[in-house]
Structure 1
Amino acid sequence: MALKEPDILLLCSFEKNVTPKEFVRVSSEENQETFSCELKGRISSRKQICIYTDKSWSKKHELIEIYVIKGKSNKQKLCTLTAENSCFQWSKSKSSREQLKLLCSEKVALEAVVVCAAMDKNTDCNESFELSKMTEVTGSPNMRTINENTPFAESHPNITPKAPKVSMKRPRDVDVTPNPKARRQRVAMRALALKNLTPPSKLMGRDSLTSSPGHRFDVEDPLVQLFDQTNGKPTRCVDLSSRVPKPSSRWGHTMTHVSSELAVLIGGQGDKSLSKDSIWFLHPEMRTWKCPEVAVEGIKPEYRIGHTATYDPTMRCIYVYGGSKNAKWFHDVHMFDLDERKWTLVKAEGKAPTRAYHSSTLHRHELWIFGGVFPCPDPQPDGCDNEIHIFCPVEQSWYKPIVMGEKPRPRSGHSATLINDILVVFGGWDFPYCYNDLFLLDLTTVEWSEPKVLGKPPKPRSWHASVALANNRVFIHGGYDGDNPLHDAHIFDYYNKTWQELVVENAPSPRAGHSCLRLDSDYENTEEDEVIVFGGGDNDGQYFSDMLSFYVPHEPKIVEITE
């Protein structure tokens, strides 16, 4: 933006009778100034966006360039505002396949390709425009009379700055013994984790496992059609299994991403016995495995399945918590020092819950534990949990936070993926339900919410793999649907709250209990994410040791919705 004097206003209006938003100067150089505008709410629900100039346009003002930024690096010019053409409008059509959002950044950033359309004071605000291309306003004869105000808001009150948001700090509560209000399972989860590790789908019929009641989605919603696109690039799957040496076949293990040069695989079970080669190092960039020599200090963790392994970059260590082995359940915490390559048992204060098939997330140097299965005295079946427990490595103590909002139902085998400060929890199992619902946990306020999600959700499943991708998306692959293993792949767009099923070329064998990680941005191209998947098992006693690489485009080809 080449504005030499600040006497011209750049405004954005998105609804009738609503005060326009003023662009704020975020940077200034000798011959260039940069402005940004932040709009709250769901931009996708608005029918139009109009950016325009107010007050007089001096000859000293050369031009104002508006840009579109797709993803983080793909910058395209949207339009140019001049004295003759000082306004542009975006209007959503019913067949639109993209959404518009203004972000506060160094540039005016839009997360979709939008249309600049000529409009004047007599323009119908409900007029639809094609969204398949990008056009510029310059040269439009209808725009030459619009220099000072918006076409549908000729005057507006003074714009007042928004009040600062009050931060809510997470309160701590005293250590409390977990109150097992979880729904009891009719079949013993021990059979899954201990003896022959038969998944729940073998223990009950498919009809007894249904999606959670109350799930909300509407395939008839216009915004569902928005993501029903088939013109993107398909997701590719490449088999890297020929590379040796490699770990033995297994499922129920963990693969913790440390850096572009290191990921650590721990535990698991294969061929009805726990994996003896319990720890392996993966070089993600080179896609090569190495079995390290690990020193023993204190108590080395026993072989286990259904545990979690969480990396702490501050301490340069991995915390292994929970899991099960034969008739034994764990609530211990072991620390694996990555520099010294040795194990240490952490003696923590407070009530440590006994859990397996739970989730663990590092946030602000603490481990947040959610859900999982816990043992109960015979003849009672084991139960599932929906509580939050926090382990603080600095103080080496356990405690329970005060939680707000309606909690998800008790579950195990779910996924919990961190997007900024929001934990995205999906799926899981607790008899008689296999879930495909989605909940969000704000870790700054410790408040649960169940958003209204658009698009067709994945089938109900548990023991699937998940990882965060670029542009605040969550990748979901595989799992058990209650009867058979799955091989489908899905994307959850956090900002748009929308599900997409990916078209996958060379899809691998159906599996569950596998692990995945996303390569660091230094080793991904500008058009796709690379996700590495290892191991897993099917429903017939077969376990895998293959390593797969999924290339997920930023604009993927989506399975067409037929319902």
Structure 2
Amino acid sequence: MEKIKFYCVAGIHTDPVEMIRSNEGHHFGHHIALPLPDQINVFTVGEVTDFPDDHVVDLQFWYEGVQFKLGTVTKAVRNVVWERKKCDDTLPELLKNSCEGEVLLEGQVKQVMGNASSNRISQTYRAGKRKADNLQEELENTPQNLLTISTPISKQKPGKKKAKQSNGERTPKGPTPRKGKIATRMRALRGESRTPKKNKILEEQNAEKNDNTSEGNSLRWSVCKDVTSRVLPGPSRRWGHTMCVVDGKQAVLIGGQGDKHQLSKDSVWSLNTETRRWKPIKTEAECQNPELRMGHTATFDPMVRCIYVYGGSKNLKWFRDIYTLDLDNWKWQLMKVNGKAPTRAYHTTTLYRHELWIFGGVYPRPNPQPDGCSDELHIFSPVMENWYSPIVTGDKPLARSGHSATLIGDQLVVFGGWDAPVCYSDTFILDMTLLDWSQPKIVGKAPKPRSWHASCALSGQRVLIHGGYDGDLALDDTHIFNLRDKSWTHIKVDSLPSPRTGHVAVCLPYCHDNQEQDEVMVFGGGDNDGAFFTELLSLAIPFLPLAHTS
């Protein structure tokens, strides 16, 4: 479709403007000033023979994470007219009421799939649950920078040499990677992915509360409570596990490692976030259950109601497989993938517009080399079942593992991590739409260097950081990063939990409209000195939390 040009007419009295084509040629974009005009016309110019029979172009608005579809351009239908009066009832409130700023009109090239591919994809993407928004026409194989990982297991003793293992594999006995080289800057490439949003109006209201510092809204202490059931059964003590909220009342715990460095055999649990009751889950598999592991990631996709589990480690083994856990029948399925998957543990995985974005992590090198840390970004498309590596620009972070990556709108906030023996306290932001890294100028005092901390997104474009490991000791402090003004705040917490690392934190959905705080559930972790935890903690974070002054 290289010879096809797209034009937009935004309003009755405006001239046609050619839409900008992305570098890889699969996306077209044009910014339209708000409020939206009464009519928008998108048409193509070019030979009919240059428009492939098996391609279509979806047109949609993007505004502050909200998507609204206009129509589809095909070889037969090369002109799409959108009229506001006919779509006003279905137009999102955020777009309907916005009078300032710009909205992105975007065209995304999709390839119509044949029967064989459709049948294979439908095993994971069940009919009627979604339409793929992000089909890649050309996918690159990831660089063969395979190999394995390091974990926050036992504390590393000074001067103690790493024992060699047979077959070139090593047990992750603590973070042992070395610094990697910073890759050369490359040209920008537009990315396409979407993560379902919270109620935007409610989020705006909460954001206003967070900004309101009037006398009527005084600063309040954050409060931590132990809500562990002392009667009912719960998961064994562990760290290196994952937990993700899968709907308003349920969270799913997967994997981890506990006492005597044994992987948790009671791998999968479901938590009712209202009653605080755990339920062990007995899973099934079409072929085989995934091997027990730690240092993996688990990512929930609400469009298909499944969890993607990727990577991790098990004693002498390192993983690069991807499993899906169907939440309707608790059945595992190993995904068949194209391209060379990177082997990673203690990386981060972010769901963005139906794709899994993997950054950093540890990978193994052949003996006698130490394990390596990655500074690369890899993307897996479940729709195309393919790995590829995007081209990114900007000042990207150094290689690291045990960091956090928290998605706020279209901005991915990366904090901390380490490449042994160095721990980091830097903050980087990846613009997911432009694939551009930046290191913002921080307001306030950043948290001390750490890795293996817990993090989650709060209301008001904020990121919570709790605990972690500073290379010597486990930590117990709590910090908030505000994406709006790029500030860090060390907040005061009543009944502070004991220092821990390798734990997880998830922010629960809102319960009522007049809520004045976020509730974060914290589970598990260890003190990096042989003790592991099984407490379930509830951390109440006010919109206006009281902060330490020093």
- Within a 5 Å distance, the mapping from 1:301-340 to structure 2 comes to 301-340=290-329
Cα separation, partners in 2 of 1:352 and 1:285, compared to 1, 3 Å = same
2:309–2:322 contact (8 Å) kept in structure 1: yes
Shift of 1:105: 9.2
Question: Identity of aligned pairs, percent?
Answer: 52
Q: Alignment partner for residue 232 of structure 1, among 211, 219, 237? A: 219
Give 3-state SS (helix, strand or coil) of 1:336's partner: strand
Q: What residue ranges of structure 2 are gaps of 5+ in the alignment? A: 1-32, 37-93, 109-133, 152-158, 180-211
Shift of 1:174: 2.2
1:190–1:382 contact (8 Å) kept in structure 2: no
The whole-number CA distance in structure 1 between the counterparts of 2:103 and 2:523 is 45
Q: Alignment partner for residue 504 of structure 1, among 493, 496, 507? A: 493
Shift of 1:166: 8.6
Q: Alignment partner for residue 268 of structure 1, among 249, 256, 260? A: 256
Residue type of the partner of 2:357?
Answer: W
- The root-mean-square deviation of aligned C-alpha atoms, in Å, is 3.6
The whole-number CA distance in structure 2 between the counterparts of 1:259 and 1:374 is 33
Shift of 1:472: 0.6
Residue type of the partner of 2:246?
Answer: V
Q: Which residue of 2 aligns with 1:174?
A: 140
Shift of 1:240: 1.1
Structure 1 residue 407 and structure 2 residue 396: aligned?
yes
Cα separation, partners in 2 of 1:166 and 1:316, compared to 1, 3 Å = closer
- Within a 5 Å distance, the mapping from 1:439-518 to structure 2 comes to 439-518=428-507
Residue type of the partner of 2:352?
Answer: H
Give 3-state SS (helix, strand or coil) of 2:292's partner: coil
Residue type of the partner of 1:366?
Answer: E
Structure 1 residue 543 and structure 2 residue 509: aligned?
no
2:518–2:541 contact (8 Å) kept in structure 1: yes
The whole-number CA distance in structure 2 between the counterparts of 1:483 and 1:442 is 33
Q: Which residue of 2 aligns with 1:552?
A: 541
The whole-number CA distance in structure 1 between the counterparts of 2:142 and 2:481 is 35
TM-score if structure 2 supplies the norm length?
0.65
Cα separation, partners in 2 of 1:510 and 1:497, compared to 1, 3 Å = same
Shift of 1:275: 0.3
Shift of 1:481: 0.9
Give 3-state SS (helix, strand or coil) of 2:511's partner: helix
Give 3-state SS (helix, strand or coil) of 2:417's partner: strand
Q: Which residue of 2 aligns with 1:70?
A: none
Q: Which residue of 1 aligns with 2:13?
A: none
- Within a 5 Å distance, the mapping from 1:394-433 to structure 2 comes to 394-433=383-422
1:247–1:280 contact (8 Å) kept in structure 2: yes
Cα separation, partners in 2 of 1:308 and 1:444, compared to 1, 3 Å = same
1:285–1:523 contact (8 Å) kept in structure 2: no
The whole-number CA distance in structure 2 between the counterparts of 1:189 and 1:450 is 37
The whole-number CA distance in structure 1 between the counterparts of 2:481 and 2:375 is 22
Cα separation, partners in 2 of 1:239 and 1:387, compared to 1, 3 Å = same
1:436–1:459 contact (8 Å) kept in structure 2: yes
Cα separation, partners in 2 of 1:504 and 1:408, compared to 1, 3 Å = same
The whole-number CA distance in structure 2 between the counterparts of 1:196 and 1:461 is 22
2:171–2:316 contact (8 Å) kept in structure 1: no
Give 3-state SS (helix, strand or coil) of 1:274's partner: coil
Q: What residue ranges of structure 1 are gaps of 5+ in the alignment? A: 1-22, 27-102, 109-160, 210-225
Cα separation, partners in 2 of 1:507 and 1:522, compared to 1, 3 Å = same
Q: After the TM superposition, which parts of structure 1 deviate over 3 Å for at least 4 consecutive aligned residues?
A: 23-26, 103-108, 161-173, 178-191, 194-200
Q: Single out whichever of 231-240 and 171-180 deviates more from structure 2.
A: 171-180
TM-score if structure 1 supplies the norm length?
0.63
The whole-number CA distance in structure 2 between the counterparts of 1:446 and 1:188 is 38
The whole-number CA distance in structure 2 between the counterparts of 1:422 and 1:491 is 16
Shift of 1:362: 0.2
Based on CA coordinates, which of the two structures has the bigger radius of gyration?
A: 1
1:404-459 deviations in whole A, cap 9, x for unaligned? 11211000000000000111000001023100101001111111111111100001
Q: Single out whichever of 402-411 and 503-512 deviates more from structure 2.
A: 402-411
